[in-house]
């Protein structure tokens, strides 16, 4: 069955937005109409301009709390679900693609795929080394219901999918679809003596605090690009890294192009688009030693214990003192990154949609 229309949920807080636009643009080139349903805070000017540059992309937005936010509850999540259902009935999609969990079990007029970019329960296990407390019970219930009700559950790594199965159980059909980016958007240039990190600096999972602790012992400056303000309020503070703030794609690509080393000592990172962008630009990679990043980058990266500033500093200094090894690591990362192009991602998603569209559709209810 040909797929002509896809309704996709997203948010504008993190990498899900980048993923959604990358996929929507590719789908549009193949004549597939996309309606992007944006939940949570409205996209800022730069994100909105990026979306409006995609021919034919339709965008709808409602500021319902994202399912992981403190103010999320059954009432506002049910209201968000009704809004999404109204959009679906008006748009007439062949496939519903949810980049969040809790609405996977609604009576959609088309097969529904839920994509697990990250979740609070897995975040807690990797970052806090403990399950989330009882204050997250309603969230976990909504997530479990959404996962169990979806036609298909997709994760960007096998590691993430295994974690979901272990924590929530009850998953039906599942698949892994690796994320992708356009290599030509992240060209390499003459490398300069600095290390770069691109991350939501407020997110403990990205572990910028460990970079800040390592920075006084590193030969080269460490630059950090990304938001320091948490979407629920408050700013992350650091003393030793150079904060660049949130950068647009072209300015970010320029940083990747000139950075000799990309460092992300992540405690939790189900995929990591910034690592891929850095690899396309030929940066040597220093990454947190966690299962998902090992799965994706194999022997191309220098792995460090995420919470060991001394090990992080040693890894950066080792590469900085050996230009030959630095160049070899960057070249290896760039070759490996060819596995994760947007064209490969698009081909896999188009196949997934076609398979979904063959499924028996749920009855349409108002």
CA distance 282 to 338: 12
- Cα torsion angle, 81, 56, 40, 124, sign: positive
Query: Tens of pLDDT along 338-348?
Result: 999 999 999 99
Closest CA to 225 of 215, 234, 233, 206: 206
Q: Average pLDDT of 258-275?
A: 96
* CATH number for the domain formed by residue range(s) 5-180+342-357: 3.40.50.2000
Q: Please determine whether the domains at 5-180+342-357 and 183-340 fall in the same fold group of CATH.
A: yes
Tens of pLDDT, residue by residue over 163-183, are 999 999 889 999 999 999 999
Q: Does the reported pTM lie above 0.85?
A: yes
Rounded Cα gap, residues 64 and 38, in angstroms: 9
Closest to 97 (Cα-Cα) out of 44, 34, 156, 53 = 34
Class of domain 183-340: alpha beta
Average pLDDT of span 290-302: 97
More confident residue, 60 or 44: 60
Pairwise CA distance, residues 161 & 85, whole Å: 27
Poorest-pLDDT segment among 96-100, 232-236, 237-241, 345-349: 232-236
Alpha-carbon distance 86 to 333, whole Å?
44
Please determine, for residue 314, whether its predicted confidence score (pLDDT) is greater than 80.
yes
For the chain, the domains span 5-180+342-357, 183-340
Q: Is the pLDDT of residue 327 over 70?
A: yes
Average pLDDT for the chain: 94
Place of tokens 């034919």: 56
**What is the CA angle 16-348-334, rounded to 5?**
70
Output phi, psi for 301, to 5 deg: -110, 160
Express as a percent the part of the chain with pLDDT over 90: 87
pLDDT higher than 50, residue 363:
no
Backbone angles phi, psi at 365, to 5 degrees: -125, 150
Determine the average pLDDT of the residues in 130-153. 97
- CA separation for the pair 32, 56 (Å, rounded): 9
Q: How far apart are CA 22 and CA 276, in angstroms?
A: 14
* Distances 318 to 211, 272, 281, 332 between C-alpha atoms, Å: 16, 24, 20, 17
Long-range contacts of 325-328 (CB under 8 A, 24+ apart): 326/191, 326/260, 326/261, 326/284
Interior/surface letters 128-153, b for 16+ CB within 10 angstroms, e for the rest: eeeebeeeeeebbebbbbbbbbbbbb
Q: For 192-236, what is each residue's pLDDT tens digit?
A: 999 999 998 889 999 999 999 999 999 999 999 998 887 777 788
Region 126-131: mean pLDDT is 95
């Amino acid at each position: 069955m040909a797929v002509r229309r896809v309704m996709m949920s997203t948010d504008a807080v993190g990498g899900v937005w980048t993923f959604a636009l990358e996929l929507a643009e590719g789908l549009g080139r193949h004549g597939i109409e996309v309606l992007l349903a944006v939940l949570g805070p409205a996209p800022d000017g730069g994100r909105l301009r990026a979306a409006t540059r995609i021919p034919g992309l339709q965008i709808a937005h409602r500021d319902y709390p994202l399912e992981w936010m403190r103010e999320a509850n059954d009432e506002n999540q049910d209201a968000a679900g009704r809004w999404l259902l109204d959009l679906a009935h008006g748009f007439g999609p062949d496939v519903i693609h949810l980049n969040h969990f809790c609405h996977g079990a609604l009576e959609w007029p088309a097969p529904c795929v839920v994509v697990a970019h990250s979740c609070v329960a897995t975040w807690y296990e990797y970052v806090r080394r403990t399950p989330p407390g009882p204050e997250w019970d309603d969230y976990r219930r909504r997530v479990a219901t959404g996962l169990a009700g979806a036609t298909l559950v997709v994760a960007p790594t096998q590691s993430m999918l295994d974690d979901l199965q272990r924590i929530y159980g009850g998953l039906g059909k599942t698949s892994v679809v690796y994320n992708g980016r356009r290599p030509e958007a992240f060209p390499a240039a003459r490398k300069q003596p600095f290390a770069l990190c691109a991350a939501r600096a407020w997110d403990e999972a990205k572990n910028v605090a460990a970079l800040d602790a390592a920075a006084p012992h590193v030969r080269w400056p460490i630059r950090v690009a990304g938001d320091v303000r948490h979407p629920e309020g408050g700013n992350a503070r650091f003393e030793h890294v150079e904060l660049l703030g949130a950068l647009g794609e072209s300015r970010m690509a320029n940083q990747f192009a000139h950075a000799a080393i990309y460092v992300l000592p992540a405690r939790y990172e189900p995929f990591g688009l910034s690592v891929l962008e850095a690899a396309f630009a030929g940066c040597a990679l220093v990454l947190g030693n966690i299962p998902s990043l090992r799965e994706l980058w194999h022997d191309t990266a220098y792995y460090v214990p995420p919470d060991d500033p001394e090990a992080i500093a040693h890894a950066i200094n080792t590469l900085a003192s050996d230009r030959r090894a630095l160049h070899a690591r960057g070249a290896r990362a760039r070759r490996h990154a060819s596995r994760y192009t947007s064209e490969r991602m698009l081909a896999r998603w188009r196949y997934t949609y076609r398979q979904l569209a063959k499924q028996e559709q749920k009855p349409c209810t108002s």
